[in-house]
Chain A
Amino acid sequence: MFDALSERLERISDSLRSRGRLSERDLDEALSEVRTALLEADVEFSVVRAFLEAVRARLAGAALSQSLTPGQQVIKAVHDQLIEILGAAPLKVTYASRPPTVVLLAGLQGAGKTTAAAKLALWFKQQGRQPYLVGADLQRPAAVEQLRVLAAQVGVDVFSEPTDPVEVARAGLAAARRLGRDVVIVDTAGRLSVDAALMDEVRRVADVVEPHYTFLVIDAATGQDAVVTARAFHDALELTGLVVTKLDYDARGGAVLSARGVVGRPVVFASSGEKLADFDLFYPERMASRILGMGDVMTLIEQAERAMDAEVVAESAGRMVTGTFTLDDFLAQLAQVRKMGSLGGLMRLMPGVTREMRQAASNVDEREIDRVEAIVRSMTPAERRDPAIIDGSRRTRIAKGSATTVAQVNQLLRQFSEMRKMMRQMGSGGAPALPPGMGKLAAAVKARGAEGLAGLPAGLGAAPARPAPPLGPRGKKKKGGRVTPPKQR
């Protein structure tokens, strides 16, 4: 998400970087670009205006820093203001001293409440809780059925009955108490903010269950209306925070800024995919860095931890540094990475990836990777272990077997041999060929605790940091990594 915004800001920073001083006109120009970027990203009109005023105030008020160029100062001001709007740290989700902790989900039709309810239940379960779902959406046909199916997938019980939403909520809460569940998640029907009767109904549901958390579930692709909706629900329900859904849809997601800016409540959870595990606390600082194209290493690492099979990775990683990496290892690793999500998405999280590369990655179709896999799978075990034995006739056979051309097979083999060369260099501590983002990744691991680094092969840990791009908030980012709460299982 936010691609459009970060790209535009990158462009602005390029044009400003070349200047020695920032004149009033330069500033106007830069801010007008920021404005366009925000509006294109669907940030609400008034929120944009307030944002620009705040950025301007920051720049006017702050003493001119000697260490930053004017361009960097604009970017830093934008970054700091983004953080201020998004909130500095993720909201700490705490629990009622007298369980159950009650969570109420509300929102427009189609925002993703039912899916979010199931994802939230899974999240609480992973925190060691015993969640209970209450299906109070009696409006949409089969909504409760959908909740039951999803809940079964995450192994959580659902309460619902065909009475009325307020009654269901009351009875559901009572059932949760009886069963000794410590978290109750109430899913409600989608409703338009202008529908007085339904808004009144959800208010009565809230009165009955007295939620500790009332979340507005909002679609990240929402346009200018995000603000109107968020305000209406806030007025009716006193929101605790927002759950943003469908963050994987595309580049924009200005709704996050709009709703956050106008309601003044934090985005607590972010949901970004079809899988029920694609759900996590919202980390504002990471998001701000991502908006500005600084990558998001922490999320990348966490995704890796979650999705990857440590044993498989350990085995092939060992061979990687000793230079005995085979095409079988390559296949295994490719499978692991693909489990983490789309390549385009992963690329976005990588720091130090240029705009062009990111674009290339989101254009790489997953089919190209399929083809690479097909080529490797068409090789015999011996060939995979030692690609050097692949001669002309073997190449022809492989190309036929994988429905590709000999040229494509050649290309893969060439790339693989280059890759092996680089790995060997990495393993021997040279690491000259490390792509730009990698040094930073290693640094982020360091920031996360030297303990972790102990397990890293010397070559990688010692990777020379590339010349740091002159961006202010870089140091902060690592700190952001350190405050990440350790995952409980």
Chain B
Amino acid sequence: MTVLYVVLALAVVALVALALVRARRRTGATATAPAEPLPEVLVAEATAIPTLGAPGLTERLSASRGVFERVRGLGAGRLDEDQLALVEEVLVRSDVGLATTGEVVARLRADGAPEGVALAVRDMLLAGFDTERAPREAAEPGRVPVWLVVGVNGVGKTTSIAKLAQRFIDQGKSVLLAAGDTFRAAAADQLEAWATRTGSEIVRAAEGADPGSVVHDAIGRARARGVDIVLADTAGRRPNSANLLDELAKVRRVADREPGQVVETLLVLDATTGQNALSQAREFLAAAAVTGIVLTKLDGTARGGVVVAIERELAIPVKFVGVGEGVHDLVPFDPEAFVDSLLGA
């Protein structure tokens, strides 16, 4: 039925396009029409656009920075609606999401906070982080452990791989990087620069090559040379494209075939991302059996609270967090420190 509708839609669109093309021909606006005379710069016009209609937004934004302090200042006992609203604001501002926020507020409303609000909220959030999060580094005997790194565009996959490589090298292990992002321009060059800097080996192929074959070659090479672990990069992909997710599933299957074994599939999430991160996690979990999360860019102003919702809903543990540009700026995830920073401590 849907297909039928789409085709009808297409039919009309086609007719419309046809009509427009004919119209253009008739009016003589040919393809080679010269650009109209150039007006002067009118940037001033742009700067004159008013800000949001409601007054006082700027002041309120500045005031919002104090919200975190005010919540921490709340005392023990029952909370009134204003105080609950404050808690809600803090959690929403940390990107925790409405579902979790609603739960926390409802429980505070019902139970109060005998030992102080900040502590009660902290405990509730920490209770969600109960998944096992120690990274798995060992494969079955005779197989090469592979960490597959996945995620959407621009979250920091390649940089995270470099940091993971450095981590293993610091532990005295040998690392081989598989440049499985054969789609983005110069992605392999970027990874190669990191390989050089960290002292890892790299297997790469031409742009547009099959990522599965790159990973396959990397595993073969790692086995031949007795490398301890393979870190496989993948192309960034939209979470809502079946084709791209299929391709990823295929890469994963290839990597998991003897002699390779995928022991971790890490989803890289950008801490500045909002609730979309939840759908990213859902899609990548289904397509590539994600086993852990690397939360990047936590050194900025974003708090990355959406991982609370992800761990509660999908039970995918955060394993590492990226806290800077340096190759050593990747640390194991510490729930307590994270929750404290969510609450602005």
Contacts and interface: CB of A to CB of B under 8 A. Distances in A.
A155 interface: no
A192 B154 contact: no
A380 interface: no
Interface string A91-120: 110111100010000001111100000000
Interface stretch (B104-112, B141-149, B217-225, B270-278): B270-278
A120 B69 CA distance: 43
B46 A320 contact: no
B40 A94 contact: yes
A225 B302 contact: yes
A226 B187 CA distance: 26
A49 B10 contact: no
Contact of B36 (A213, A357, A460, A488): A488
B77 to A, nearest CB: 26
A324 interface: no
B41 A222 contact: no
Interface in B1-39: 1-23, 26-27, 29, 31-36, 38-39
A223 B35 contact: no
A12 interface: no
A168 interface: no
B175 to A, nearest CB: 17
Interface in A235-265: 240-241, 246, 248-252, 254-255, 261-265
A215 to B, nearest CB: 11
A148 B190 CA distance: 13
A452 to B, nearest CB: 4
Contact of A249 (B93, B242, B276): B276
Interface stretch (B56-64, B284-292, B333-341): B56-64
Given A415-B3, A415-B4, A423-B11, A223 B43 contact: no
B64 A46 contact: yes
Contacts of B38: 94-95, 97
A304 B3 contact: no
Contacts of B10: 333-334, 336-337
A40 interface: yes
Contacts of A127: 35
A20 B47 CA distance: 43
Contact of B46 (A95, A97, A265, A330): A265
A457 B20 contact: no
A337 B23 contact: no
A15 interface: no
B17 A438 contact: no
A36 interface: yes
A180 interface: no
Nearest to A312: B14
A370 to B, nearest CB: 10
Contacts of B21: 305, 310, 314, 455
A85 B53 contact: yes
B12 A460 contact: yes
Contacts of A368: 3
B92 interface: yes
Given A45-B93, A255-B274, A262-B61, A91 B46 contact: yes
A407 interface: no
B189 A301 contact: no
B12 to A, nearest CB: 5
Interface string A34-69: 001001111001110111011001000000000000
Interface in B245-263: none
A97 B95 contact: no
A229 interface: yes
B6 A109 contact: no
Contact of A456 (B4, B15, B187): B15
B35 to A, nearest CB: 4
Given A87-B49, A146-B184, A225-B301, A45 B89 contact: yes
Contacts of A462: none
A224 interface: yes
A299 to B, nearest CB: 12
Given A54-B53, A91-B46, A109-B297, A360 B2 contact: yes
Contacts of B8: 419, 422, 435, 438
A249 B299 contact: no
A231 interface: yes
B186 interface: yes
Contact of B238 (A225, A248, A364): A248
B276 A250 contact: yes
A486 B29 contact: yes
24 contacts: A50-B54, A110-B153, A110-B156, A143-B190, A149-B207, A192-B299, A222-B273, A223-B95, A223-B277, A224-B95, A224-B302, A225-B303, A250-B240, A262-B57, A265-B47, A313-B14, A320-B14, A336-B14, A346-B9, A366-B243, A422-B8, A449-B23, A455-B19, A455-B22
Interface of B: 1-23, 26-27, 29, 31-36, 38-43, 45-47, 49-54, 56-57, 60-61, 64, 89, 92-95, 98, 152-156, 184-187, 189-190, 192-194, 207, 238-243, 270-277, 279, 297, 299-303, 306, 325
Given A264-B50, A265-B49, A304-B13, 17 more contacts: A39-B98, A94-B40, A95-B41, A127-B35, A142-B187, A192-B297, A192-B300, A223-B306, A225-B95, A225-B301, A252-B276, A261-B57, A316-B14, A337-B13, A337-B14, A435-B9, A451-B27
